[in-house]
Structure 1
Amino acid sequence: MNTRREFIKRATVLGAGAFLSADLLAMKRNISSNDKIGLGVIGCRGQGWSNLNALLKVPEVECVALCDIDENVLSKRKEELSKLNIKPRIYSDYRKMLADKDVDIVVVATPDHWHCLQLIDACSAGKDVFCEKPVANSIYEAQLMNKAVQRYGRVVQVAQWQRSQQHFNDAIAFVHSGKLGKISAAKAWMYRTGTQPLPVVPNSPVPAGVNYDMWLGPARKRPFNKNHFHYEFRWFWDYAGGLMTDWGVHLIDMVLLGMKAGIPKSVMATGGKYVFPNDARETPDIQTALYDFGDFQMSWEHNMATGVGLYGMQHGIAFIGENGTLLLSRAGWEVRPDRDKIEAVPWTKASDNGLQKHAANFIDVVKSRKKEDLNCPFEAGAKVAIVSHFGNIAVRTGEKIYWNEAQNKFNVEKATQLVKPIYHNGWKLPVV
Structure 2
Amino acid sequence: MTHSRRHFIRSASTLMAAAAVPNALHAIPRLVSPSDRLNVAAIGINGMGWSDLTAMIKNPEVQCVALCDVDKNVLDKRVAELAQKGIKVKAYSDYRKLLEDKDIDAVIIGTPDHWHCLAMTDACAAGKDVYVEKPIGNSIEECHIMVAAQERHKKAVQVGQWQRSQQHFKDAIDFVYSGKLGQIRLSKAWAYQGWMKSIPKKPDSAPPPGVDYAMWLGPAEKRAFNPNRFHFNFRWYWDYAGGLMTDWGVHLLDYALLGMKASNPRSIMAAGGKFAYPDDAAETPDTLTTVYEFDNFNIQWEHATGIDGGPYGRDHGIAFIGNNGTLVVDRGGWEVIPEKDKMEAVPRKPKVDNGLDLHTKNFVEVVKSRNFADLHTPIQAGANVAINAQMGNIAFKTGQKIHWDAAAGRFKESEANKYLAATYHNGYQLPK
The interval holding the TM-score normalised by the smaller chain is over 0.9
Q: Is 1:341 matched up with 2:365?
A: no
Q: Who is 2:223 aligned against?
A: 222
Task: Give me the whole-angstrom Cα distance separating, in 1, the residues matched to 2:97 and 2:60.
Answer: 26
Q: Who is 2:116 aligned against?
A: 115
Deviation digits for residues 388-430 of structure 1 (CA, Å, limit 9, x no counterpart): 0000000111010001223222122221111101100000001
Task: Give me the whole-angstrom Cα distance separating, in 2, the residues matched to 1:181 and 1:121.
Answer: 46
Give 2:248's aligned amino acid: W
Task: Give me the whole-angstrom Cα distance separating, in 1, the residues matched to 2:302 and 2:119.
Answer: 31
SS class of match (2:272): strand
Task: Give me the whole-angstrom Cα distance separating, in 2, the residues matched to 1:169 and 1:73.
Answer: 36
Task: Give me the whole-angstrom Cα distance separating, in 1, the residues matched to 2:79 and 2:341.
Answer: 58
Task: Give me the whole-angstrom Cα distance separating, in 2, the residues matched to 1:410 and 1:106.
Answer: 34
Q: CA deviation at 1:375?
A: 0.7
Q: Who is 1:373 aligned against?
A: 374
SS class of match (1:168): helix
TM-score (norm 2): 0.93
SS class of match (1:390): helix
RMSD: 1.9
Deviation digits for residues 175-227 of structure 1 (CA, Å, limit 9, x no counterpart): 01111111111000010012211111110001100000000000010000000
SS class of match (2:143): helix
SS class of match (1:185): strand
SS class of match (2:176): helix
Q: Is 1:139 matched up with 2:140?
A: yes
Q: CA deviation at 1:342?
A: 1.5
Q: Is 1:414 matched up with 2:415?
A: yes
SS class of match (1:279): coil
| Residues 389-404 of structure 1 aligned to structure 2 (within 5 Å) | 389-404=390-405
Task: Give me the whole-angstrom Cα distance separating, in 2, the residues matched to 1:70 and 1:339.
Answer: 56
Give 1:418's aligned amino acid: Y
**What runs of 5+ residues in structure 1 fail to find an aligned partner?**
11-22
Q: Who is 2:60 aligned against?
A: 59
Q: Who is 1:176 aligned against?
A: 177
Task: Give me the whole-angstrom Cα distance separating, in 2, the residues matched to 1:340 and 1:113.
Answer: 50
**What runs of 5+ residues in structure 2 fail to find an aligned partner?**
1-16
SS class of match (2:86): coil
Deviation digits for residues 358-378 of structure 1 (CA, Å, limit 9, x no counterpart): 011111111111111111111
Task: Give me the whole-angstrom Cα distance separating, in 2, the residues matched to 1:198 and 1:305.
Answer: 11
SS class of match (1:113): helix
SS class of match (1:325): strand
| Residues 213-362 of structure 1 aligned to structure 2 (within 5 Å) | 213-362=214-363
Task: Give me the whole-angstrom Cα distance separating, in 2, the residues matched to 1:114 and 1:164.
Answer: 25
SS class of match (1:207): coil
Give 1:146's aligned amino acid: V
Q: Who is 1:383 aligned against?
A: 384
SS class of match (1:317): strand
In terms of mean alpha carbon deviation, does 411-420 or 382-391 score higher? 411-420
Task: Give me the whole-angstrom Cα distance separating, in 2, the residues matched to 1:291 and 1:196.
Answer: 28
| Residues 64-103 of structure 1 aligned to structure 2 (within 5 Å) | 64-103=65-104
Give 1:317's aligned amino acid: I
Give 1:248's aligned amino acid: G
Between the two proteins, the alignment pairs up a number of residues equal to 414
Task: Give me the whole-angstrom Cα distance separating, in 2, the residues matched to 1:150 and 1:342.
Answer: 45
Q: Is 1:209 matched up with 2:230?
A: no
Give 1:176's aligned amino acid: Y
Give 1:165's aligned amino acid: Q
Q: Who is 2:47 aligned against?
A: 46
Give 1:192's aligned amino acid: Q
Give 2:140's aligned amino acid: I
Give 1:202's aligned amino acid: P
Task: Give me the whole-angstrom Cα distance separating, in 1, the residues matched to 2:306 and 2:49.
Answer: 28
SS class of match (1:335): strand
Taking only the aligned residue pairs, the percentage that are identical comes to 55
SS class of match (1:307): coil
